[in-house]
Structure 1
Amino acid sequence: MKSIRSLLASFRIDQWLKNVFVLAPLAFSKHLFNPGYAVPAVVYALLFCFVSSAIYVFNDFIDRERDRLHPGKKDRPLAAGDLPVVLALFTAFVMGAGGLAASFLLSRSAGFVLVLYIVNNILYSLFLKRVAILDVMLIAAGFVLRVLGGAYVIEVEASVWLMLCTFLVSLYLGFCKRRQELVVLAGNETEHRISLSSYTVDFCDHMIAVVSACTVMSYALYTVADETVLKFGTSNLVFSLPFVLYGVFRYKYHITVFSIHKNTSQIFLSDKSLIVNVFLWLLTVLALIYRAQGTL
């Protein structure tokens, strides 16, 4: 039973929240309530969850020695020695291979996107996470691949605006994470993550400011772009902008004021105001899109 609990902990099920990005193309395709589109999108999102869990296990295996030096990661099953390495790697292989194979049954293009996601993460885990800035960009690329795969699996066009906003908000979250690590690990940061030797809190703050401004501006331009107004039949999406602003500000407030090492999912799930804000943003966007379409 202990091994099973440790295995489930290694899957980091709370991180599955990140895979809602797979469903973004469905929501913005105007087919959210069409089972022919919704079912394959949800199934693909679940397959992404399985594959991402396999990658988390693999990454924990690679980082287990360094994780023992991290106050927030030393209790991870592989770092703590609570999970047999062979069992962890075997389970990760089964989940990863099974999820990948199933994705090709849904859509060949979506399956290849999942291959790219796996390759991206393996390269990150083995080599590229040591390279400052590129490490954050690769994490952001993983979110873009989620959106791209979500579009391919339901055979809709992947919006350039949607992918741009996804990339920028992911960069923002990535630099926020690096800032957290610098604060929490003060004095021992390079023992945990080599790339942190190339970061400073001041640099991260500058990057966060730049990327957050780009994120908000890109989203604002998207809501008023001619193609957006034409596609959704409304120019009112701009009224969802305040929720985006609040989310960006609140997240920065959280990591700056509290300086607690929580991952992105834990921050969102522990902050009621962020949960309410995301819900209201989603409700506003869907209401505007589907009301104009006549679905609501």
Structure 2
Amino acid sequence: MDRETIIYLTNIIICAIIAVLMTDAWRRGEHRGSLLYWMIAAWVMLVADILFASRPILPGAVDRILPTLLVTVGQAILLVGARIHAEMTVPRRLTAILVMVHAVALVAFYFADSDSVWRRVVNGIIWATLAFLSYRALRNSAPVFWRSYTAPATVFAAHAVFHLFRISFASFPAAQGNGSLAVAVDIMGDLEVSFFMVALFVGLLISNLQQRNEQLSQALAEVKTLSGLLPICAWCKKVRDDDGYWQQVDEYFRTRSEIRFSHGMCADCADDFKKDTAEI
């Protein structure tokens, strides 16, 4: 079993575990919009790795086009999930154009020169662009998704930088002529897939849990605010807040909870009102 096959099999095991974890998180979680797309992306990446590992037995066109294109599809789905999570518009047209352009380029390289160095350059440009757009989207979401070095946004940024490095390497013939260096870069590229998948999806799961924990903590704080003794005037029924100011009951609850009052008249007050108007 050669080095490349071992790396692909390792990636398959890692992607399978991640896909199952993302599926379970989607089933249990409340943020079904973004988690749904991230779960689908994990399964797409798993299929891509299976096809990469099966290259020796696949037809030439499938071998050189489909696995690489599935990576692009997976990253496009990751971008859609990031935009949904950040409550931004989904760039359906942009992602569709990027996938179609990549598909056309891969077909062209297959018939012209499947081993062309420009094939790697095109792959890197497409993947770096999608990773950077995902990074920009998560920068507009909750801080837990971008403020730490292990946050998903940081992983996307590192992924984009790595592909830019590979583009630069592929653009210099002198670097390509160094056989040992080229092999080292290829190994780094294969290993980066595993690092990217683990760091990204684990980061997404942890960030979702942290965000959920912050939401629960905020809800608990609001419940505590509305618990305990509440001073209320026995005559006008105003309540006193923590600063010592007296407020109407509806105003007090409006500023401290999601409660909204709709004013009406109870039956007793309606009878009293009728009596008062009748006397007038």
When normalised by structure 1's length, the TM-score is 0.36
Of Structure 1 and Structure 2, which has the larger fraction of its residues in helix? 1
Q: Which has the higher contact order (CA 8 A, sep 6+)?
A: 1
When normalised by structure 2's length, the TM-score is 0.38
